[in-house]
Amino acid sequence: MSTIAANPYEYELPSEGKIALVIIDMQRDFLEHGGFGDALGNDVMQLQSIVPTVKKLLETFRSLNFPVIHTIEAHAPDLSDCPPSKLNRGRGNLKIGDQGSMGRILIVGEDGNNIIPELTPLANEIVIVKPGKGAFCRTNLEEILQKENITHLLFTGVTTEVCVQTTMREANDRGYECLLIEDGTASYFPEFKTSTIEMLRAQGGIIGWTANSEAVIAALLPQAMAIA
């Protein structure tokens, strides 16, 4: 069986089922200057640094015709899917639905809510619009994974300790074999990323595995040739 060099030990690629790349919330409002993240005082360059890596992984999966799943954190214009506990969180900052420099914050269809141009989804790729941090909460993601016979998930995106970690934990609880691509995820706070990686792979991989993108690509390309 093919494996990816990973921590805490090798990650086995599926002999049955499919492996999918999950790209979490690579949205303009989080990554670009003038967006929501920037307005909150965060260093968006921390997130921008992973764009080349995620793009390379995306291109690899596309070249192999392997499934790709994009997620977008977003709410309806009337905020009917945003609970008060989320809407009213924070003091002295912009909130969900407020007008930002790229449109209303975290609202479906606004410019800032879109995925960055470098990673724009193709028509045949799965896009999950999620009202929460985790991609399984109030979405049809699990139904899609089951229909497509996807059993293994490789995670990238932002931020490591919030939406990425939440979705990976949700997936682990549902029986999916999960791997976080370390150089394909980022946080506004590097120490949070480091801690999250350690938590996910602790105790023999309590939530899953972690690996770098070079190891992932090196393992996937020979597997695809063998399948062909």
Q: Is 89 helix (H, G, I), strand (E, B) or coil?
A: coil
Specify the DSSP class assigned to residue 67: -
Specify the DSSP class assigned to residue 83: -
**Residue in 163, 178, 183, 193 annotated catalytic:** 163
Question: Environment class of residue 76 by beta-carbon count within 10 Å: exposed (0-12), middle (13-18) or buried (19+)?
Answer: middle
Active site residue 163: yes
Amino acid at 61: F
Closest CA to 23 of 168, 223, 197, 188: 168
Amino acid at 129: V
Cα–Cα distance, 134 to 86 (Å, whole number)? 13
Active site residue 18: no
| 18 bridge partner residues | 150
**Residue in 130, 178, 183, 193 annotated catalytic:** 130
Active-site residues, by number, are: 25, 130, 163
